[in-house]
Amino acid sequence: MSISPQLSRRIGVIGAGQLARMMGEVAPSLGLSVTVLATSLDDAAVATCDEVIVGDAQDPSALDALGESVDVVTFDHELVDLHQIEALESRGVVVRPSARALEFAVDKAHQRRTFFDAGLPVPRFLVVNSSDDPRLSSLLDELGDPPVVKASRGGYDGRGVLFPRDRHETLRMIDDLAESSDVVVEERLQLQSEVAQLIARGTDGSTALYPLVTTVQSEGMCVEVVFPAQVTNELAQRASELAEQIASLIDVVGILAIEFFVTSDGLFINEVALRPHNSGHWTIEGVRTSQFANHLLAVSGEALGDVTALCDNAVMVNVVGSDQPSSLELAMTVEGAFVHDYGKSWRPGRKLGHVTVLGDSAAQVHVRAWESARAYGTRTREA
Ligand code: ADP
């Protein structure tokens, strides 16, 4: 087993999607190199990284090959087998965030239970593995309205999150999802909005809190991110306090993104991601140190960068493939638009890129960001 240096210069990323691609874009300016574990040479991050290992994120030999060629391993996604990540750690590979921390993002049941036990605000919930669970009918009676039914593992972008219309459908959906994982049944809250708080945490426990943003969802997918968040100062303050608490509870190293529900009873935690997050793409242009730079600095054991906003307003819109292939050139003609293309082949429903616009006027950045995203050919609409 090799003793790892305090500072890690060679970063290995499990997964090679757009997040790894954007890590690869910033790494050279930080004096870091990125090796990705890609499923194929067509993956988005292959174009920006220094080295590529082709293999499956759930194949132990591919993980070993990555671990052996870098100083620290981190993640582009959480579709991993935690036992395999633990095995990697036990063989002396430095993994940040750790397998123990990552469980909060991989397993919604673990997240809900641990946060509830710590007194953190989560919706009322129950974890079951079949609709026969004797505790289920009292929860459903207590809630009155139909709940939200979620696969504890394996879901993303709204997949694995179901909204039954009645009790019959609730029970059927629980049994469908229970075939592949435990199921979280939780109160369907009346949402005023949704916000996301990003926090970077270093190996020494130091933290940097990004400004809070509002996230706008459509069909379970984030379509737009707005800075500053459209909430009161008290609520923004509460989000930062909760983020500090959660980051230290999880003992995360790297970026932690926390999605919150805003309700008339205050904030409730929706979910956490332990990697750069869609709600932080605007930080590439809008904040002094982007989420991608701070993630790499944190997992390398270096000091975190300044997270002061560089603008009064920012809007980021995701570009999602529509029925027709998209056009980048038109999108770039919109004044002030920073257009990020992920280099992926076009497919309806696929996230192909994003557009960020910064400016003095909230209304103007909103209009311009959507103008550019529409020109790009996004299928999403303003919610
Ligand atoms: P994913 O893990 O696929 O990103 P989420 O758990 O974030 O899915 O849920 C997707 C969306 O569904 C949320 O952004 C929110 O709009 C809605 N949603 C999820 N849980 C609830 C809930 N308990 N009450 C109301 N809406 C919810």
Q: Are residues 65 and 175 in the same domain?
A: no
Nearest CA to ligand 1 atom 13: 220
Q: Which residues span the domain enclosing 137? A: 124-186
Residue 252 pLDDT: 98
Q: Are residues 284 and 362 in the same domain?
A: yes
Residue 248 is part of a domain; what is its CATH number? 3.30.470.20
Residue 260 pLDDT: 98
Nearest CA to ligand 1 atom 12: 220
Q: Are residues 214 and 356 in the same domain?
A: yes
Percentage of the residues of the chain whose pLDDT score is greater than 90: 88
Q: Report CA(19)–ligand 1 centroid distance (Å).
A: 21
Q: Are residues 65 and 87 in the same domain?
A: yes
Cβ atoms of 283 and 291 within 8 Å: the answer is yes
Q: Report CA(175)–ligand 1 centroid distance (Å).
A: 19
Higher pLDDT, 346 or 201: 201
Which mutation among 149, 261, 267 tests ligand 1's pocket best, with the greatest number of atoms within 8 A of CB?
Answer: 261
Residue 166 is part of a domain; what is its CATH number? 3.30.1490.20
Residue 101 lies in a domain: no
Instruction: Please determine, for residue 44, whether its predicted confidence score (pLDDT) is greater than 60.
Output: yes
Cβ atoms of 99 and 298 within 8 Å: the answer is no
- The number of the ligand 1 atom at minimal distance from the alpha carbon of 159 is 3
Nearest CA to ligand 1 atom 27: 188
Which mutation among 104, 110, 148 tests ligand 1's pocket best, with the greatest number of atoms within 8 A of CB?
Answer: 148
Which of the four pLDDT bands, split at 50, 70 and 90, describes residue 3?
A: very low
Q: Report CA(12)–ligand 1 centroid distance (Å).
A: 30
Q: Would you mind telling me the total number of residues written for the chain in this entry?
A: 383
Instruction: Please determine, for residue 351, whether its predicted confidence score (pLDDT) is greater than 80.
Output: yes
Residue 378 pLDDT: 85
What is the average pLDDT across 12-19?
Answer: 98
**Burial (CB count <10 Å: 0-12, 13-18, 19+), residue 33:** middle
Residue 85 is part of a domain; what is its CATH number? 3.40.50.20
pLDDT digits (tens, 9 = 90+) for 87-127: 999 999 999 999 999 999 999 999 999 999 999 999 999 99
Nearest CA to ligand 1 atom 15: 220
Q: Are residues 356 and 300 in the same domain?
A: yes
Residue 148 lies in a domain: yes
pLDDT digits (tens, 9 = 90+) for 129-147: 999 999 999 999 999 999 9
Residue 322 pLDDT: 85
CA 292 to each of CA 299, 348, 356: distance values in angstroms, whole numbers, following the listed order = 11, 27, 15
pLDDT digits (tens, 9 = 90+) for 195-244: 999 999 999 999 999 999 999 998 878 999 999 999 999 999 999 999 99
Q: Are residues 367 and 258 in the same domain?
A: yes
Residue 173 lies in a domain: yes
Residue 316 pLDDT: 98
Q: Are residues 180 and 199 in the same domain?
A: no
Residue 154 pLDDT: 82
CA 279 to each of CA 143, 159, 196, 260, 274: distance values in angstroms, whole numbers, following the listed order = 30, 18, 7, 12, 13
- The number of the ligand 1 atom at minimal distance from the alpha carbon of 268 is 23
Nearest CA to ligand 1 atom 23: 188
Assign 3-class secondary structure to the chain.
CCCCCCCCCEEEEECCCHHHHHHHHHHHHHCCEEEEEECCCCCHHHHCCCEEEECCCCCHHHHHHHHHHCCEEEECCCCCCHHHHHHHHHCCCCECCCHHHHHHHHCHHHHHHHHHHCCCCCCCEEEECCCCCCCHHHHHHHHCCCCEEEECCCCECCECEECCCCHHHHHHHHHHHHCCCCEEEECCCCCCEEEEEEEEECCCCCEEECCCEEEEEECCEEEEEEECCCCCHHHHHHHHHHHHHHHHHHCCCEEEEEEEEEECCEEEEEEEECCCCHHHCCHHHHECCCHHHHHHHHHHCCCCCCCCECCCEEEEEEEEECCCCCCHHHHHCCCCEEEEECCCCCCCCCEEEEEEEEECCHHHHHHHHHHHHHHHCECCCCC
Instruction: Please determine, for residue 379, whether its predicted confidence score (pLDDT) is greater than 90.
Output: no
Residue 46 lies in a domain: yes
- Phi and psi at 354, nearest 5°, equal -150, 165
Which mutation among 218, 225, 270 tests ligand 1's pocket best, with the greatest number of atoms within 8 A of CB?
Answer: 270
Q: Report CA(315)–ligand 1 centroid distance (Å).
A: 21
Q: Report CA(28)–ligand 1 centroid distance (Å).
A: 36
Residue 383 pLDDT: 66
**Number of structural domains in the chain:** 3
Which mutation among 107, 112, 152, 161 tests ligand 1's pocket best, with the greatest number of atoms within 8 A of CB?
Answer: 161
Cα–Cα nearest to 260, from 206, 191, 199, 202: 191
Instruction: Please determine, for residue 156, whether its predicted confidence score (pLDDT) is greater than 70.
Output: no
| Pocket of ligand 1, beta carbon within 6 A | 123, 148, 150, 155-161, 186-189, 191, 194, 217, 220, 259, 270-271
Residue 221 pLDDT: 85
Q: Are residues 162 and 197 in the same domain?
A: no
pTM value is 0.95
